[in-house]
Structure 1
Amino acid sequence: MTAHLTGTRADWLKARLDLLAAEKALTRQSDAVAQQRQALPWVKVDKDYRFVTEAGQAGLADLFAGRSQLLVYHFMFGPDFSAGCPSCSLIADGFNGIHVHLANHDVTLTAVSLAPLDKLFAFKRRMGWTFPWASSATSDFNFDFSASFTEEQQRQGDVTYNFRKEPERDWRAGEPGAEGAEALFARMSGTDAGTYQRERPGMSAFIQEDGAIYHTYSSYARGMDAIWSMYPWLDRAPKGRNESGGPWWRHRDAYEAPVVRTASSCCA
């Protein structure tokens, strides 16, 4: 028998209406935060960032693909990785289909990673993705936007991520075979935990106006929760995120066949 609270349909409706009031308040708060986000001052981008794309060498302006707005997903895929970060891959599974819709609303969505383009495109083919993906291996873009860090920064504990200096971490911890999410995801990415930690997830927004490019917004860490398309669904499932056992997701082609449970076993 379930240990969860049960009740009548009338009990459920009363509780649901209370929840509806809370959900509406959260929606209004989210709208207010979105307005605050869009009111941030724009900062002109003066550096000539260079990228390698499927079409060849490109500047930041070229990533806009003729549109006025650019959203960049900082995808964790370092030069020494053999596969993309599983968490970033899960997020990319969620936005792969929407980039076409955004493109028809004056917004280009692209992923950018530090790995060379051939690695990015091999993994892109494996995953069956269609969104644009650029390599920033030829510029400081990843480092300037806090998506990549050098080994020297890591060794010296000089990593500023999510707008604050991180507490010093043991970059040697979590080598393959050790416990923890970072060691697990490092192995899935084909690298060691120290190298994995030098790449970080995030997103940045830019606008092009009157011949100039401005940086308007960046978000990292838990600020990325809203674009994990999996989580809004899990938050509405009966057991919620149900992650007490630690990280459970994989590259989507690396899951074992799901166990199919039937209702007949108890009545056979």
Structure 2
Amino acid sequence: MPGTWLTESSTQEQIMTSHLTGTRDEWLKARLELLAAEKELTRRSDALARQRQALPWVRIDKDYRFDTDAGNATLADLFQGRSQLLIYHFMFGPEYAAGCPTCSSIADGFDGFAIHLAHHDVMLAAVSLAPLAKIQAYKRRMGWTFPWASSLGGDFNFDFDASYSETQQRDAGIEYNYRREPPMTPIPFTMGKESGDASPPVRNAIMSGTDVATYLRQRPGMSAFVHEDGVVYHTYSTYARGLDGLWGMYQWLDRAPKGRNETGMWWRRHDEYAAAAQSVAEPCCA
């Protein structure tokens, strides 16, 4: 329905919008109804957090090893003296030329959180299957400082459903997000690198410098651990849409007037927006 807006010159100009418009009183009535729903969601979220924390702890007896900036480390070492450890399973396989752009947009917030968590007895770190040298180079490119370890050569990523073998993917199918996925059918590269029409797996694979099948042998997730009386326990893992609450930009977009407003994969690594804007501005046939 049409709405009215005063321009800077104070002349009235009719603006067409497809969205409902109304008076301040109408807005307030609708906002109070929404507030009641938001409060109920908050209470439900609090209850889910308590249910999450009540999960049984599973003792970790396997000797997982990682390559870190400080050298070879055990899982217990990753806690760095804290009693709790949150690990983000960052999609960055040995064959990737760069880390997954979607994981990168999530990880952009880690440095800001990590300092606060570390002072609340919680360590935040990322783990990937890529070799440490690749991880270190990518961290420098992105300007990140949070701890990021390589699990290359070990079982950690595979045991926690963040990496899969080509045989699993092609012949047996994989177990991801607590569901069985059938063997993967080939996904061809049909879109150019700058095409917004490409599906996220295709576009992410291209932007990671690999083919789709190789890209999808890594998966995103997060896992929580606790270190108590000299024993490490696994307490929680979540994957796929379970990561939405950790993806800071979406929490903001969900509160923006047009919401997520997506027709495809629009985000890029934070150092790629300027180049993308430049390529759009340039004529196609210079």
For structure 1, list consecutive stretches of 5 or more residues without a partner in the other structure: 260-268
SS in 2 for 1:4: coil
Alignment pair present for 1:239 and 2:239: no
Aligned equivalent of 2:53: 38
**Contact map agreement 2:126 2:147 (CA 8 A) in 1:** yes
Q: Write the mapping of 1:93-172 to structure 2, written as runs, cut at 5 A.
A: 93-170=108-185, 172=186
**Contact map agreement 2:168 2:183 (CA 8 A) in 1:** no
Return the letter of the residue paired with 1:187. Answer: I
Aligned equivalent of 2:62: 47
SS in 1 for 2:218: coil
Answer with 1 or 2: which has the greater Rg. Answer: 2
Aligned equivalent of 2:229: 210
Moved over 4 A (4+): none
Q: 1:37-81 deviations in whole A, cap 9, x for unaligned?
A: 000000000000000000000000100001100000000000000
SS in 1 for 2:108: helix
Structure 1 position 3, deviation (Å):
1.3
Structure 1 position 174, deviation (Å):
3.3
Partners of 2:269 and 2:238 in 1: CA distance: 23
**Contact map agreement 2:57 2:233 (CA 8 A) in 1:** yes
Partners of 1:137 and 1:78 in 2: CA distance: 9
1:188 corresponds, among 192, 207, 212, to 207
Structure 1 position 94, deviation (Å):
1.6
SS in 1 for 2:26: helix
Alignment pair present for 1:12 and 2:27: yes
2:187 corresponds, among 150, 154, 173, to 173
Structure 1 position 183, deviation (Å):
1.1
Structure 1 position 169, deviation (Å):
2.6
Partners of 2:266 and 2:120 in 1: CA distance: 35
For structure 2, list consecutive stretches of 5 or more residues without a partner in the other structure: 1-15, 193-197, 278-286
CA shift in 2, pair 1:233/1:212, >3 Å: same
Q: How many residues align?
A: 257
Alignment pair present for 1:224 and 2:246: no
Aligned equivalent of 2:5: none
CA shift in 2, pair 1:69/1:45, >3 Å: same
Structure 1 position 167, deviation (Å):
3.3
Identical-pair percentage: 67
Structure 1 position 127, deviation (Å):
0.4
Structure 1 position 164, deviation (Å):
1.4
Partners of 1:14 and 1:97 in 2: CA distance: 36
**Contact map agreement 2:118 2:124 (CA 8 A) in 1:** yes
Partners of 1:231 and 1:211 in 2: CA distance: 38
**Contact map agreement 1:117 1:134 (CA 8 A) in 2:** yes
Aligned equivalent of 2:271: 253
Return the letter of the residue paired with 1:125. Answer: R
Partners of 1:213 and 1:72 in 2: CA distance: 14
Q: 1:216-239 deviations in whole A, cap 9, x for unaligned?
A: 000001111110001110001110
Q: 1:119-156 deviations in whole A, cap 9, x for unaligned?
A: 00100000000100000003100000000000000111
Partners of 1:29 and 1:257 in 2: CA distance: 43
Structure 1 position 258, deviation (Å):
8.9
Q: 1:147-198 deviations in whole A, cap 9, x for unaligned?
A: 000000011142000111113331x213364742211110111111110010
Output the TM-score relative to the length of structure 2: 0.87
Partners of 1:182 and 1:176 in 2: CA distance: 12
SS in 2 for 1:232: helix
Cα RMSD, aligned residues only: 1.3
Partners of 2:20 and 2:206 in 1: CA distance: 41
**Contact map agreement 1:111 1:133 (CA 8 A) in 2:** yes
